Copies of this chain bind each other. A is one copy, B any other.
Amino acid sequence: MKSLDISEVSQRSGLKPSALRYYEDLGLIQSDGRKGLRRQYDDTVLERLALISLGRSAGFSLKEIHSIFQNEGRFELDRDRLRAQARMVEQQIRRLRILARALNHVSDCPAPQHAECPTFRKMMQKALGQSVRP
């Protein structure tokens, strides 16, 4: 159980110290005590930060992520909820696959204007179906 200070956590997570303090304010992470004034972190914080980054990049807000981590540092036990989140992520993956295919297609397709290309139009139709978001 190695103790890390904020700059080491910052370096290893890619997040600025200001962001780490902000996450702590929000209750997303905890420092494991202080050395004087200085926060010390348990190295499991890095896993938690990785999960936060993943969640962010899946389009979850910090508030939503916070609500996934309840019960004092344990992950909450609402399995249905977690499964529902997993399904949202899978849906997002499907959308992104369409985007990746669209980009690859556009980079290879010889049609001068993509509005004219039937393959592209078909992909966009599919995307329209997948991408209804609030």
Instruction: Assess whether B92 is in contact with A96, with CB atoms less than 8 Å apart.
Output: yes
Instruction: Assess whether B57 is in contact with A86, with CB atoms less than 8 Å apart.
Output: no
Instruction: Assess whether A102 is in contact with B54, with CB atoms less than 8 Å apart.
Output: yes
- Interface pairs (28), CB distance under 8 Å: A46-B124, A47-B115, A47-B120, A47-B121, A47-B124, A50-B124, A50-B127, A50-B131, A51-B124, A51-B127, A53-B133, A54-B95, A54-B98, A54-B102, A54-B127, A57-B95, A57-B133, A58-B96, A58-B99, A73-B113, A74-B112, A74-B113, A74-B114, A82-B107, A85-B103, A86-B100, A86-B103, A90-B100
Give A contacts to B, CB under 8 Å. 14, 44, 46-47, 50-51, 53-55, 57-59, 73-75, 79-80, 82-83, 85-86, 89-90, 92-93, 95-100, 102-104, 106-108, 112-115, 120-121, 124-125, 127-128, 131-134
